[in-house]
C-alpha cells in the first residue's frame, strides 16, 4: 500500500530533526554591524537590537535568542533581514557548532521574520503562533516587504521571501531539546495577530517577544491593546530569573519589566479613553495629556504619537461596539 503524503511528510520531518542538515544557507548580502552575543544563563544567549525605528541600524532593531544544548540549538525570532540572520548564526557559531534544529517565531512582524529563509535553507523547523496567517494573507505583508526592499537594500532584496511555518501553536506546548524543555505559551492576539512566549527550563528564562519592550517606548501599531493588557496582567512570572524582551536589554527583574510595559499601555489607554468619552479630537487630546513620564525613553519621538493615535481609534471602535 503506498505511503500517504502525510506519512511521508512526517517521516521527512523526523529525519530532519534527527540529523544535522547538509544544506548550506543561500548567499545573502554581507552586513557589517555590531552584534555581540550576550549570555543570559547556562543555555540561553541573545543579540540585542538598537531602540530605533525599523530602518535604523541597518534594520537591526529587535532581539533574537538562541537556546544552546548538546543535542542542538533552538532560535527564537529571526531578525529583520536574511543578512542579519546570517550574522546571528555567525555569533552562535562562536559558542556552538551544534545543528540549528528549530526556530520559534514569537509573532509575524517584519523585524522578526525576514531572516527566516536563512534558517529554513539550513533545514530548521519553523514554529509560529496561530494568527500568523492573518498577517501573511493581508496586503500589509507584501506592501511592507516591497518597502523594505527599498529602505533596507541590499540586505532585504528581491530574493527575500515570506516564510510560512511548519508547525502552528494554538495552545501551551512543550518541546524537549537535549537537557532543556521549552515551554511555548500561546498568548493569542495582543501585540500582533498572534503572539507567543517561550519559557526555557531549567534556566527559568522567559523570552517574551514584543509583549514586552524594555528601556524604550513600545510599538503598538494596530495591536489589540485591551487584550495586550490582559495578557500582561495575567502573566505568571513566578520563579523567572531573567526576561528577554522583543526589544531592549534582558531584564534581571522580570516583574519590573512587565510592569513598565503595562504602565505605558494602561496610561496611554486611560488618556485616550477620557478623550473618546468626551468626544475630544485626537490632536487636542494628545496635546492636553501629560506624557512627561515617557518622554525621555528611546523611540518616544518616533513611536509615541502614532501609538496614541492608534489607541484612540481602537477605543472609538470599542465604544461603538465594533
Three-state DSSP string of 194-234:
CEEEEEEECCCEEEEEEEEECCCCCCCCCCCHHHHHHHHHH
Residue 106 and residue 197 in contact, taking contact as beta carbons nearer than 8 Å: yes
User: What pLDDT, on a 0 to 100 scale, did the predictor assign at position 26?
Assistant: 55
- Tens of pLDDT, residues 156-202: 999 999 999 999 999 999 999 999 999 999 999 999 999 999 999 99
Inter-CA distances, 101 with 1, 9, 67, 125, Å: 32, 17, 11, 6
> How many structural domains compose the chain?
1
Number of H helices and E strands in the chain, helices first, is 10, 12
User: What pLDDT, on a 0 to 100 scale, did the predictor assign at position 8?
Assistant: 35
User: What pLDDT, on a 0 to 100 scale, did the predictor assign at position 64?
Assistant: 98
DSSP state of 90: H
Comparison of pLDDT for 288 and 9, the residue scoring more: 288
User: What pLDDT, on a 0 to 100 scale, did the predictor assign at position 317?
Assistant: 86
Q: What is the dihedral of CA 221, 225, 227, 232, to 10 degrees?
A: 110
At residue 175, the 3 state secondary structure works out as strand
What domain range is 133 assigned to? Answer: 5-320
Residue 289 has pLDDT above 60, yes or no: yes
Q: Rounded distance, CA 134 to CA 147, Å?
A: 19
Q: What is the dihedral of CA 115, 121, 122, 128, to 10 degrees?
A: 50
Residue 6 has pLDDT above 50, yes or no: no
Residue 242 and residue 205 in contact, taking contact as beta carbons nearer than 8 Å: yes
Name the residue among 167, 110, 168, 105 with its Cα closest to residue 141: 110
Phi, psi (deg, nearest 5) at residue 154: -95, 5
User: What pLDDT, on a 0 to 100 scale, did the predictor assign at position 27?
Assistant: 79
- Tens of pLDDT, residues 227-286: 999 999 999 888 999 999 999 999 989 999 999 999 999 999 999 999 999 999 999 999
Residue 114 has pLDDT above 90, yes or no: yes
- Tens of pLDDT, residues 103-113: 999 999 999 99
- Tens of pLDDT, residues 42-101: 999 999 999 888 889 999 999 999 999 999 999 999 999 999 999 999 999 999 999 999
At residue 259, the 3 state secondary structure works out as helix
Report how far apart the first and last C-alpha atoms of the chain are (Å, whole number): 53
The secondary element (H helix, E strand) that includes residue 117 is helix 116-121
pLDDT band per the 50, 70, 90 thresholds, residue 25? very low
pLDDT band per the 50, 70, 90 thresholds, residue 222? confident
User: What pLDDT, on a 0 to 100 scale, did the predictor assign at position 320?
Assistant: 76
User: What pLDDT, on a 0 to 100 scale, did the predictor assign at position 238?
Assistant: 84
Cα angle, residue 75 at apex, residues 69 and 80 outer, rounded to 5°: 155
User: What pLDDT, on a 0 to 100 scale, did the predictor assign at position 322?
Assistant: 55
Residue with cell 500500500: 1
User: What pLDDT, on a 0 to 100 scale, did the predictor assign at position 135?
Assistant: 94
154-175 residues labelled b (16+ CB within 10 A) or e (exposed): ebbbeebebbebbebbeeeeeb
For residue 182, what is the domain's CATH number?
3.60.15.10
Amino acid at each position: 500500500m503506498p505511503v500517504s503524503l502525510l506519512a511521508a511528510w512526517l517521516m521527512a520531518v523526523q529525519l530532519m530533526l534527527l540529523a544535522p542538515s547538509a544544506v548550506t544557507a543561500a548567499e545573502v548580502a554581507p552586513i557589517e554591524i555590531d552584534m555581540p552575543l550576550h549570555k543570559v544563563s547556562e543555555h540561553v544567549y541573545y543579540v540585542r537590537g538598537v531602540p530605533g525605528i525599523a530602518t535604523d541600524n541597518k534594520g537591526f532593531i529587535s532581539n533574537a535568542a538562541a537556546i544552546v544544548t548538546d543535542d542542538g540549538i533552538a532560535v527564537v525570532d529571526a531578525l529583520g533581514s536574511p543578512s542579519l540572520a546570517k550574522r546571528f548564526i555567525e555569533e552562535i557559531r562562536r559558542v556552538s557548532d551544534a545543528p540549528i534544529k528549530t526556530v520559534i517565531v514569537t509573532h509575524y512582524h517584519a523585524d522578526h521574520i525576514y531572516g527566516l529563509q536563512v534558517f529554513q535553507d539550513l533545514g530548521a523547523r519553523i514554529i509560529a503562533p496561530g494568527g500568523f496567517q492573518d498577517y501573511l494573507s493581508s496586503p500589509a505583508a507584501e506592501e511592507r516587504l516591497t518597502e523594505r526592499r527599498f529602505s533596507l537594500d541590499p540586505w532585504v532584496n528581491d530574493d527575500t521571501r515570506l516564510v510560512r511555518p511548519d508547525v502552528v501553536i494554538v495552545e501551551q506546548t512543550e518541546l524537549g531539546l537535549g537537557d532543556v524543555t521549552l515551554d511555548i505559551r500561546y498568548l493569542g492576539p495582543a501585540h500582533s495577530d498572534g503572539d507567543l512566549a517561550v519559557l526555557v527550563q531549567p534556566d527559568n528564562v522567559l523570552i517574551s517577544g514584543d509583549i514586552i519592550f524594555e528601556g524604550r517606548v513600545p510599538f503598538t501599531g494596530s495591536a489589540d491593546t485591551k487584550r495586550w493588557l490582559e495578557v500582561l496582567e495575567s502573566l505568571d512570572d513566578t520563579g523567572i530569573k531573567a526576561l528577554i524582551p522583543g526589544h531592549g536589554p534582558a531584564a534581571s527583574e522580570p516583574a519590573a519589566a512587565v510592569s513598565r510595559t503595562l504602565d505605558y499601555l494602561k496610561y496611554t489607554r486611560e488618556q485616550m479613553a477620557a478623550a473618546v468619552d468626551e468626544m475630544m479630537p485626537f490632536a487636542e487630546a494628545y496635546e492636553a495629556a501629560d506624557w512627561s513620564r515617557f518622554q525621555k525613553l528611546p523611540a518616544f519621538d518616533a513611536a509615541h504619537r502614532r501609538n496614541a493615535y492608534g489607541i484612540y481609534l481602537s477605543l472609538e471602535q470599542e465604544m461603538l461596539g465594533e
